């Protein structure tokens, strides 16, 4: 009976792949806000394509350089209505985001629909691509 209870208790705390990915996604967004370029480097693929709602696309090198130089910074990043679809080692994550950012010293607030593509490498998810469009 004790062993059965232990399996039930441990099973209740186990996270699904989707839940683990959502945590990773939120941690990445917090790394953007915190300007944690080490974490951003670890959480992104070497061929990252980071698309913005205005058509601007950054590479991984661009993202890190733009944080280091202060060209862009995020003050807040809030996700809502997150949905995850996993197929093997690939996943797409869609959500609505409210983002406060500063670019070239000018502050902006964005309400966006975002698609992120994540790839599982070994046991870690890394961001492969992202595209955003303005939400109504």
Tell me the CATH number at 88. 3.10.450.50
Two structure tokens written together for 90: 């690939």
Q: Report how far residue 100's alpha carbon sits from residue 94's, in angstroms, rounded to the nearest whole number.
A: 19
Count of domains observed in the chain: 1
Helix/strand/coil (H/E/C) assignment for every residue in 21-57: HHHHHHHHHHHHHCCCHHHHHHCEEEEEEEECCCCCE
pLDDT for the residue numbered 3: 55
Q: Given this model, what pLDDT does residue 1 score?
A: 53
Whether residue 1 is contained in a domain is answered as no
Q: Is residue 51 part of a domain?
A: yes
Does residue 123 lie within any of the structural domains? yes
pLDDT at 14: 54
Mean residue pLDDT of the chain comes to 90
pLDDT, position 4: 44
Residue 59 lies in a domain: yes
Say what the pLDDT of residue 136 is: 86
**Contact predicate 73/64, CB 8 Å:** no
**Which structural domain, as residue segments, surrounds residue 91?**
16-134
Q: pLDDT-derived band of residue 10, with 50, 70 and 90 as boundaries?
A: very low
In this prediction, residue 48 has a pLDDT band, given cuts at 50, 70 and 90, of very high
pLDDT score at 78: 96
Q: Establish if 9 belongs to a structural domain.
A: no
pTM of the model: 0.86
- Indicate whether 89 belongs to any domain: yes
Residue at 95 is within a domain: yes
Does the pLDDT of residue 7 top 70, yes or no?
A: no
The span from the CA of 55 to the CA of 121, in Å, is 28
Residue 2 located in a structural domain: no
């Amino acid at each position: 009976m004790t062993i059965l209870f232990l399996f039930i208790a441990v099973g209740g705390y186990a996270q699904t792949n989707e839940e683990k990915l959502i945590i990773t996604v939120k941690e990445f967004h917090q790394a953007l806000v915190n300007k944690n370029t080490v974490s951003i480097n670890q959480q992104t693929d070497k061929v990252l394509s980071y698309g913005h709602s205005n058509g601007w696309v950054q590479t991984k090198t661009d993202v890190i350089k733009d944080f280091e130089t202060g060209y862009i910074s995020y003050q807040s990043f809030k996700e809502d209505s997150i949905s995850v679809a996993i197929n093997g080692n690939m996943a797409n994550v869609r959500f609505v985001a409210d983002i406060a950012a500063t670019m070239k010293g000018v502050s902006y607030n964005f309400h966006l629909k975002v698609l992120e593509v994540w790839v599982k490498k070994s046991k870690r998810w890394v961001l492969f691509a992202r595209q955003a469009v303005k939400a109504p």
